[in-house]
Amino acid sequence: MKRTLIASGILMMLGTPAHAADDLAAIRQEIQQMKASYEARIQQLETRLAQTEAATKQADKKAEQADTKAEQASQVAAVAAQPAPSRESAFNPAISLILSGTMNHSSLSPSTYAIGGFIPSGTEVAPNARGFSLGESELAISSNIDPDYRGNFVLAMAPDNTVGIENAFVQTLGLGHGLSAQAGRFYSSIGYLNNIHAHAWDFTDAPLVYKSFLGNQYADDGIQVKWLAPTDSLLVELGAELGSGRSFPATTKDKNGTVAGAVFAHVGGDYDESNSWRAGLSYLGTGAQDRTYADVNATGAATSNAFSGKSKTWVGDFIWKWAPNGNATVHSLKVQGEYMHRNEDGDLTCTGCVASGTGAYNSSQSGWYLQSVYQFMPHWRVGLRHDGMSSGSVALGAGLNAADFPLLAAYSPSRNTAMVDYSPSEFSRFRVQYARDASRPTQIDNQFSLQYITSLGAHGAHTF
């Protein structure tokens, strides 16, 4: 500003003719005046600037002090209890919903599905219907009841618009001494896969041995008690269950007391930072009364059979998981396998058989599966599963003719399954699965499925 002024002054002077000496003197005077006035103004401005700067510094200091005070205050506030939520809805339980669906293609009709050599365990074990079908929609509600108990409720809405209570149980919260108990309807803790909900399975369907021996999953109405041994880092868990026997292989009976009982032991730990494992042994002892199933007799006419007696199942299970440094974000591997052996001892009654009547039935049968799932990059996994079953020995007593029980003819069903799944987030998964299923003695079923599974609402926790 100042400089431009002087420069313009000089230019002005240069441009002024020399003969106007008076003018020049006047101009000089003017410039002198201007200079003086500007210098005064500048001085004024400089003083004001200095004052402002001082004020700013002071303000800064004050702000800093205020900041410190605010920080201290907020710290005090944080240390003091958080304000209690005033809304009534703050006590609403956690709600989550599983939405899933499949598109299936199978070379044989699911309506003719049967696992050869074994007494059928119900209709739910058949592969999904051909074409598009809705999976089970699961509504889960859970919350702490009071300081001592927690409640869980899972409603399963089947695609045919029927609603079933999958789980409804009350469990203790920290009973102490490693003890916990639950009562109500729950998935038994026998084996590994049994108490894992279908939406968390690594394949679209259950292993054959689960379908055949437990009707997919064994759930009962009853009580469970578990105890954890006071070990350092090795898990030792022992448990027992008593129940009413409401699901296959048991049936309910009109009697006081219990119909089914189970005991289980699980041991698990970390081999190192990258590897962890769990192994278990379980026993399920149940009774069945008039457990019916349909078959055809020696001439091909429909029959109805009923089994009454004892059913005892042993389950051995193990799972091993690997992830580099225990970080499963990019790569991880899971290998799991289970073996089951079942003895059934009782009477079989046939209605509609050629030699209609009742006779002794005694079977000793087994089955197993081995599966592995590998995550080869974030979000993507591949899995392989092999199922093997052996109808073992089935002895029919006097009064029963083997030809009247074609389903029980000796056979060793097997199945090989491969899947690829993609999980864009923790809450959604898309899967492609192919299975070559030799459950039926007559023909091989090629099953192809596409599946989506999503979960919305409360964040679920991940079991091992």
Partner 1 sequence: MKLKLLFAMLALASSFSAHAALNILACEPEWGALAQELGGDKVKVANATTALQDPHRIEARPSLIARARGADLLVCTGAELEIGWLPILLRDSGNAAIQPGQPGNFEATRYVTLLEKPQRLDRADGDVHAAGNPHIQTDPRNIALVADAMSKTLAAVDVANAAYYQARHADFMARWRTAIARWETQAAPLKGVVIVAQHQAYPYLENWLGLKQVTTLEPKPGVEPSIASLSAVLNKLTTTPAKMIIRSAYNDDRASTWLSQRANIPAVVLPFTVGGTPAANNLFGLFDDTISRLLAADKAAK
User: Pairing between strand 94-106 and 131-134?
Assistant: antiparallel
Identify the residue among 328, 335, 370, 384 touching partner 1 (CB under 8 A).
328
Q: How far is the CB of 66 from partner 1 (least distance, A)?
A: 16
Identify the residue among 22, 88, 160, 232 touching partner 1 (CB under 8 A).
232
Whether 278 and 286 have beta carbons less than 8 Å apart is answered as no
Q: What distance separates the 2 farthest-apart alpha carbons in the chain? A: 150
Q: Does 278 contact partner 1 by CB under 8 A?
A: yes
Identify the residue among 378, 395, 422, 446 touching partner 1 (CB under 8 A).
378
Taking alpha carbons only, the member of 425, 415, 419, 424 closest to residue 451 is 419
Q: Does 233 contact partner 1 by CB under 8 A?
A: yes
**Tokens matching residue 452:** 């989506």
Identify the residue among 49, 50, 229, 402 touching partner 1 (CB under 8 A).
229
Of 22-30, 295-303, 335-343, 456-464: span binding partner 1 (CB under 8 A):
456-464
Q: How far is the CB of 279 from partner 1 (least distance, A)?
A: 10
Q: Return the number of the residue (146 or 160) whose C-beta is nearest partner 1.
A: 146
CA 360 to mean position of chain CA atoms: 43
Q: How far is the CB of 73 from partner 1 (least distance, A)?
A: 10
What is the pattern of x (binds partner 1, CB under 8 A) and - over residues 128-167? -------------------x--x-----------------
Identify the residue among 77, 301, 382, 410 touching partner 1 (CB under 8 A).
77
Q: Return the number of the residue (147 or 257) whose C-beta is nearest partner 1.
A: 147
Whether 313 and 249 have beta carbons less than 8 Å apart is answered as yes
Backbone angles phi, psi at 127, to 5 degrees: -60, 160
Q: How far apart are CA 118 and CA 84, in angstroms?
A: 59
Query: Cis omega before residue 324 (within 30°)?
Result: no
Q: How far is the CB of 436 from partner 1 (least distance, A)?
A: 31
Q: How far is the CB of 425 from partner 1 (least distance, A)?
A: 7
What is the pattern of x (binds partner 1, CB under 8 A) and - over residues 418-437? -------xxx----------
Of 57-65, 173-181, 207-215, 345-353: span binding partner 1 (CB under 8 A):
173-181
Helix (H) or strand (E) holding 234: none
Q: How far apart are CA 426 and CA 424, in angstroms?
A: 7
Q: How far is the CB of 171 from partner 1 (least distance, A)?
A: 7
CA 328 to mean position of chain CA atoms: 15
Binding residues with partner 1: total (CB under 8 A): 58
Helix (H) or strand (E) holding 84: none
Q: Does 89 contact partner 1 by CB under 8 A?
A: no
Q: Return the number of the residue (397 or 424) whose C-beta is nearest partner 1.
A: 424
Give residues with Cβ within 8 angstroms of 271, minimum separation 6.
277
> Counting beta carbons within 10 angstroms of the beta carbon of residue 248, is it exposed (0 to 12), middle (13 to 18) or buried (19 or more)?
buried
**Tokens matching residue 447:** 């099953």
Query: Cis omega before residue 230 (within 30°)?
Result: no
Binding site residues, partner 1, CB under 8 A: 74-75, 77-79, 82, 147, 150, 171-180, 226-237, 266-270, 273, 276-278, 321, 325-330, 378-379, 425-427, 456, 459-464
